[in-house]
Structure 1
Amino acid sequence: MILAVDTCLAASSIAVLDGDTVRAARSEPMTRGHQERIAVLAREVMGEAGVKFPDLTRIAVTVGPGSFTGLRVGLSFAKGLATALSIPCVGINSLEALAATAGAPGFVAGVLDARMGQVYLQVFDGGKALMAPDALEVGVAAARLAELYSGGPATLIGSGAPLLADVLPEATVLTPAFADPVAVARLAATRPAPIHSPRPLYLRAPYAVAPAA
């Protein structure tokens, strides 16, 4: 029984997966306010699922890349809940979650607009990662995408997908604002129980810097 938590992108999302059965799932679009909503949402979705927290055997949580504040909110909540229940907490990166959300065969690239002329990119083929998640200049990301593509069906998914669409003109371009929490849960179900708690995946430093002394 898996509870999936995602606050990395533009939503607070929760899903409860019982084996192959989705007991309940909900995503509430938001760019701010994850901290105030995620615990309440988890209780509501658990109630809809008819599941009690002690029934859970695993927590899944997205770890980034994404909003610095958002991903910390979800990660803190998930780790705290897993600790309280003495169950594993499995981290899933948001690019992989987006690729799984596409549910498409063949070549799939998770792409997030990282602003400042950059994208966060990770590419998969048949569900297998062809590269580690990375923050790249758009031109560099386009070259990487072209290098890795070997033909066949292709899907670009995420807020940054349109920035790379010219590289693969025949590709399907999807721009959901957030990943499907059910996809996050299904990915976590395939992973071995981690030895250590998940950590945030920061692909670049935050914009904010401490003022000079």
Structure 2
Amino acid sequence: MLALLPDPQHRPTVLACDTSQQACSVALALADGNIIERLEETGRGHTEKLPLMIADILESSGVGLQDVDRLGVTVGPGTFAGVRVGLAAMRAIRISHHLPLYPITTTHALALPIQQMMQEDEAHHCIVAIDARRGELYCQIFDAQGHPVSEVMAHTPEALVKIIAKEGVSRSNIIGSGSEILAALMRADAVSCLEMPFWPQAGLIADWVARQEVLPENTPPPEPLYLRPPDAALPDASSFLTRQEG
């Protein structure tokens, strides 16, 4: 089935969320173009915060889930538990209300606010760099039109500098929680660290979803994008037995 562009006379109502990083963000893009958004820097506690924020934004706007046309959610990379919380919530609503669910990577979501700025200078690229801890960054490169020119990656900053050079990136704006780490290893006259929010903005995600083509029927639900195993791991059987014997 062909994917159709959304009817400009009927802008879809979109509910979107992000829980992939250290904030919890929920937004509702209305048919009249207005966007209602909530964002809390939580660190943890996404599981408790997200349902309350969704209920609050729907109640305050007078919109019910039966009025929503589309859903949007970040799929990672990000914290292991955070990514799962947002995806689980949106997949549950998708099933219960038979709604299309649009996925977006965390890196793409972070790049959304500067795409218009970048189009004024096509020589610039946008590099999203997220501090992934353990000496690594999550990273993705976008061109001046906001199109990805690389996959989402997880590498050391030193390795990323080499990859960026191979992609032929001469000048770039770097955003994200790992921007200063990466910029410190690159030529100072070639990069600019922009002071942008470190967390994806659900309002921008909802607006992006509203402008996308209609998803084909029977599109499978999105899966989390994990670039490495979770930081926390269950103890193996031998360590458990050792403690019992002690």
Q: TM-score, normalised by structure 2?
A: 0.80
Q: Tell me whether 1:27 sits opposite 2:39 in the alignment.
A: yes
CA shift, 1:147, in A, is 3.0
1:129 alignment partner, one of 124, 148, 161 = 148
Q: In the aligned structure 2, how far is the partner of 1:183 from the partner of 1:20?
A: 15
| Match of residue 100, structure 2, among 80, 88, 91 | 88
Identity fraction in percent? 31
* CA deviation vs aligned residue, 1:98-145 (integer Å, no higher than 9, x gap): 011334314111111111111000110011100110111110111222
Q: 1:20, CA displacement in angstroms?
A: 6.9
1:17 corresponding residue in structure 2: 29
2-side partners of 1:210 and 1:187: how far apart? 38
Question: Which structure's residues are more often strand, by fraction?
Answer: 1
Which of 215, 221, 239 is equivalent to 1:193?
215
Bigger shift: 98-107 or 130-139? 98-107
Q: Distance in 2 between matches of 1:157 and 1:209?
A: 30
Q: How many residues align?
A: 212
Match of 2:9 in 1: none
Q: Tell me the CA shift for residue 192 of structure 1.
A: 4.0
Three-state SS of the structure 2 residue aligned to 1:26 is strand
1:70 deviation in Å? 0.8
The residue that corresponds to 1:141 in the other structure is 160
State which structure, 1 or 2, has the greater radius of gyration over its C-alpha atoms.
Answer: 2
Q: Given the alignment, which residue of 104, 108, 114 partners 2:126?
A: 108
Once the two structures are TM-superposed, the CA of residue 168 in structure 1 deviates from its matched residue by 5.0
Q: Say which SS state the counterpart of residue 42 (structure 1) adopts.
A: helix
2:233 counterpart residue number: 209
Looking at structure 2, the residues matched to 186 and 88 of structure 1 have their Cα atoms a distance apart, in angstroms, of: 15
Q: Cα distance 1:164–1:17, how it changes in 2: closer, same or farther (>3 A)?
A: same
Distance 1:186 1:56 in 2: 13
- Determine if the alignment matches structure 1 residue 184 to structure 2 residue 205: yes
8 A contact 1:162–1:173 mirrored in 2: no
**What amino acid sits opposite 2:215 in the alignment?**
A
* Partner SS state of residue 21, structure 1: coil
Contact 1:165/1:173, CA 8 A, preserved across alignment? no
**Cα offset, 1:10, TM superposition:** 1.3
Give unmatched runs, 5+ long, in structure 1: none
Structure 2: where are the runs of 5+ without partners?
A: 1-12, 119-123, 238-246
Q: Deviations over 1:27-69 (max 9, x none)?
A: 1111111111111101111223332211101110011111111
User: Contact 1:161–1:174 at 8 Å: present in 2 too?
Assistant: no
Q: 1:117 maps to what in 2?
A: 135
TM-score normalised by structure 1 residue count = 0.91
Which residue number in structure 1 is paired with residue 240 of structure 2?
none
Is 1:44 the equivalent of 2:56?
yes
**Cα distance between partner residues in 1 of 2:38 and 2:74:** 15
Tell whether the 8 Å contact from 1:161 to 1:175 is kept in structure 2 after alignment.
no
Contact 1:14 1:181 in 2 (8 A): yes
Equivalent residue letter for 1:115:
R
Letter in 2 for 1:33: G
Q: Could you tell me how far apart the structure 2 residues matched to 1:132 and 1:192 are? A: 24
